[in-house]
Structure 1
Amino acid sequence: MPAEQRGPGLDRDSVRLLVSRGTEVSHHDFVELPRQLRAGDLLVVNTSPTLAAAVDGRIGHARVVVHFSTRGEDGRWAVELRDPDGRGTTRARTGGPAGTEVRLPDGVRLVLEEPLAGRSERLWWARVSAPGDADVTVLLRGHGRPIRYSYTERDQPLSVYQTVFALPSADGAGSAEMPSAARPFTARLVAELVSRGVQFAPITLHTGVASAEAHEPPYPERFAVPEASARLINAARAHRTPREASSSRGGDGSREGGRVIAVGTTAVRAVESATGTDGVVRPAEGWTDLVVTPERGVRAVDGLLTGLHEPEASHLLMLEALAGRTAIDRSYEEALAGLYLWHEFGDLHLILPDGESSHSALLPQPNVRLPLGRCDPAHRAHITYEEG
């Protein structure tokens, strides 16, 4: 259950924090996060709001639950059909076949057209028809509830699934599931971080539904890295160039600030999708199918604040790209021994660099206008770069 519901006087930030620097691991309360960071650090946060994306429906006389995942450019929705399990949650079911019609509240009809990807029939593109001017966003507001899985105890109001950084979008878009790494942040904690000189760079990535059983890699998702955030990221990293290293070291010989720390794997995916092979982050928006792996590596992000992931989860490849397999194995040994909590209401893991980043030499000098150009061709992101 959410941390604030576990006892009197608790708040969202009443969770634990595992901190790892290479194979060095320490244990903290999440409210100690400001003391793990330093002036000049930059937290990249996802502003996507969480949608009430689960809606009850029927196929013939059979009850189903529709998880609305992603709205495509052609107006169709990627959806997952699931069976009620009798305990208020759902279990996986085989999707399809094409032409299957699902009846939803208020006369809305959903027709499956084709699988989202050839490797799996879990998610399908579906055409939705609604009477009058109604659309899916109206349906979700009136009849939707947050997606939840069997490891949770009961339904929660949508407000429980919104982070302090969530902003409503003009077109009603949002995430099918909460960008949960940011959930423990409170307004008080954000204020303390700002007072200590930590900065924030907002991005947006609308998450689709998770692969709770199959642990598939993430599908293409909509994202945006605004110009202001791209400049903040580049400026933070530029402060670590060799030319400035001598003037930015603290009294203990360590460099001060300049670390780019993503809050959640969604923030990593968005930022890395907007980062070229030259290490420069450029303003971008569109769709990304980038999967960060140890082979691909990371080019802009130095650290990550994230939840704890299942052994089969593809997100572990991203963690390995940041810290290496040995460090991640060591961290998870400590998390298991310490009985840390998993999933969206669980504890957090802060991965900090073991020594200084090796890619800072690729960065432009401060106060240089960043050129616009193409994003990393190693992934097929459909991106529009913004003039600025």
Structure 2
Amino acid sequence: MKTSDFYYDLPQELIAQDPLEDRSASRLMVLDKETGEIQHHVFRDIIDYLNPGDCLVINDTKVIPARLIGAKEETGAKIEVLLLKRGADDVWETLVKPGRKAKPGTRISFGDGLLVGEVVDIVDEGNRLIHFEYEGIFEEILDQLGQMPLPPYITHQLKDKDRYNTVYAEHSGSAAAPTAGLHFTPELLKEIEAKDVDIARVTLHVGLGTFRPVKVDDVENHHMHSEFYMINEEAAEKINRAKDGDGRVICVGTTSCRTIESAADENGHLKACSGWTEIFIYPGYRFKALDCLITNFHLPESTLIMLVSALAGKEHVLTAYEEAVRERYRFFSFGDAMFIK
């Protein structure tokens, strides 16, 4: 299976640069995974596709303002640091630009010394381990100095930091948003619960590995970076109840999907657990827990378009994407949504 099999043409102007004022006013394409039939709706119509007894699985991770702009203490040269994974004792795995200027021992000052980082080690693919020094509470300093780590294809500045988080974001730790969840409003979630649809909250802290380009020709040779996930007892019970009854397990986003597929047993049942996952889902994968998926439109040749192709079939997905281009849907993080039923 070739990476190039998952390519499609996308006009640049269809990449959404700004979030809509009303989260639930985005468009919704409904794709039948069995027949390939396509329907066009508005996102808030998703409620019409949810039935009593279904379980909607959401990822309640919270994106931190992980992009820091600092200066080397020795030379004053500008340096950008993106926080990826928190380790012990104020050490973070980071992505540094330009990396060649960040050798072990390099000290970087942020906010005129409010926060100081020292490079302690080099890890794979040029990432750096940085130890941070500060007075007070790290999260508060980060909120003051950090910017939201928007993907490189978004060139506009974000006016409101909260728009790159879901309305149900709770556990801080992501370097990127679980963007399928950005379409939900508190009102829509209340309506869904009133329809006797269970909402199960799981957590997967999204790393940049999810969005890294696939650089190998053969899909099977691609390696995913690990991401931390948590499933509590309440979420596991709700998912199991849907599996054991007549309900469907509907994941909001590829991150929720990867979380429950990492933790499910062969019968699709879950129990409370946490850990690190490197699961890579591409065509040929047999889903254990997930029945349906709410997701955005993904980059050509990405692991995410491979995941949706595993669920709905590559031909159905690429045909749907071609129609989305024709119909001028908005693509990627701040773009429109798709429901694969």
Report the TM-score when normalising by structure 2: 0.84
* Residue 239, structure 1, aligned to residue 245, structure 2: yes
Given that 2:53 and 2:245 are in contact with CA atoms closer than 8 Å, whether structure 1 keeps it comes out as no
1:77-226 matched pairs, under 5 angstroms = 77-82=92-97, 97-105=103-111, 106-115=114-123, 117=124, 120-121=125-126, 124-135=127-138, 137-148=139-150, 149-167=152-170, 169=171, 173-209=172-208, 214-215=213-214, 218-226=224-232
Do residues 229 (structure 1) and 238 (structure 2) align? no
Aligned 8 A contact 1:67 1:209 in 2: no
Aligned residue runs from structure 1 range 1-388, under 5 A? 1-4=18-21, 11-22=22-33, 23-59=36-72, 60-73=75-88, 75-82=90-97, 97-105=103-111, 106-115=114-123, 117=124, 120-121=125-126, 124-135=127-138, 137-148=139-150, 149-167=152-170, 169=171, 173-209=172-208, 214-215=213-214, 218-240=224-246, 258-352=247-341
1:291 aligns to what SS in structure 2? Answer: coil
The Cα of 1:27 is off from its aligned counterpart by 0.8
Q: 1:81-127 CA distances to partner (integer Å, 9 max, x unpaired)?
A: 236xxxxxxxxx66854444433231412315122x3xx33xx2413
Aligned equivalents of 2:267 and 2:89: distance in 1?
A: 34
Larger relative contact order, structure 1 or 2 (CA cutoff 8 Å, min sep 6) = 2
Paired amino acid for 2:143: R
1:87 alignment partner in structure 2: none
Shift of 1:229: 0.9
- Structure 1 runs not aligned, ≥5 long: 5-10, 84-92, 241-257, 353-388
- What secondary structure, in the 3-state scheme, does the structure 2 residue paired with 1:49 have? strand
Kindly name which structure, 1 or 2, has the bigger radius of gyration based on alpha carbons: 1
Q: Distance in 1 between matches of 2:173 and 2:329?
A: 29
Instruction: For residues 47-97 of structure 1, give each alpha carbon's deviation from its aligned partner in whole angstroms, at most 9, with x where no partner exists.
Output: 1112111111123332122111111356531211236xxxxxxxxx66854
Check whether the contact 2:209–2:225 (CA below 8 A) recurs between aligned residues: no
Contact 2:57 2:256 in 1 (8 A): yes
Question: Distance in 1 between the 2:81 and 2:210 partners?
Answer: 14
1:211-247 deviation per Cα after TM superposition (whole angstroms, max 9, x unaligned): 766357642111101111111111101114xxxxxxx
Q: CA RMSD in A?
A: 2.2
Give the structure-1-normalised TM-score: 0.74
Q: Note the alpha carbon deviations across 1:248-299, whole angstroms, 9 max, x for none.
A: xxxxxxxxxx111110111011111111234321211122222222344321
Q: Is the contact made by 1:230 and 1:281 (CA closer than 8 Å) also made in structure 2?
A: yes
8 Å Cα contact 1:51-1:174 kept in structure 2: yes
- Cα–Cα, structure 1 residues 214 and 320, in superposed 2: closer, same or farther, change >3 Å? closer
Q: Is the 8 A contact 1:55 1:145 kept in 2?
A: yes
Separation of aligned partners in 1, 2:263 and 2:157? 38
Aligned-residue identity in percent: 30
The CA distance in 2 between the partners of 1:166 and 1:281, in whole Å, is 22
In structure 2, the residue corresponding to 1:219 is in which secondary structure?
coil
Quick one: distance in 1 between partners of 2:192 and 2:294?
Answer: 14
Q: How far apart, CA to CA, are the structure 1 residues paired with 2:251 and 2:101?
A: 34
Structure 1 210/343 Cα, relative in aligned 2: closer, same or farther at 3 Å? farther
Between 321-330 and 207-216, the greater mean CA deviation after superposition = 207-216
- Determine the C-alpha separation between the residues in 2 that align with 1:38 and 1:12: 22
Change beyond 3 A, Cα 1:32–1:134: closer
Secondary structure at the residue paired with 1:142? helix
* More deviation, 17-26/93-102: 93-102
Name segments (4+ residues, structure 1) moved above 6 Å: none
- Distance in 1 (alpha carbons) for counterparts of 2:208 and 2:154: 16
CA distance in 2, matches of 1:131, 1:235: 47
Corresponding residue for residue 368 of structure 1: none
The question of whether the paired residues in 2 share the 8 Å contact of 1:101 and 1:112 is answered with no
Q: Residue 61 of structure 2: SS of its match in structure 1?
A: coil
Q: Cα gap change, 1:79/1:197 in structure 2, threshold over 3 Å: closer, same or farther?
A: same
| 8 A contact 2:94–2:130 mirrored in 1 | no
Aligned to 1:384: none
Do the aligned residues in 2 keep the contact of 1:96 with 1:112 (CA within 8 Å)?
no
Unaligned runs of 5+ residues in structure 2 are: 1-17, 216-222
Q: Which moved more, 1:288-297 or 1:299-308?
A: 288-297
Question: How many pairs are equivalent?
Answer: 310
- CA gap 1:75/1:285 in 2 versus in 1, 3 angstroms: farther
SS of 2:307's equivalent? helix
Higher helix share: 2
Aligned partner of residue 66 in structure 1, secondary structure: strand
In 1, the alpha carbon distance for the partners of 2:340 and 2:42 equals 15
Counterpart-to-counterpart distance in 1, 2:101 and 2:50: 45
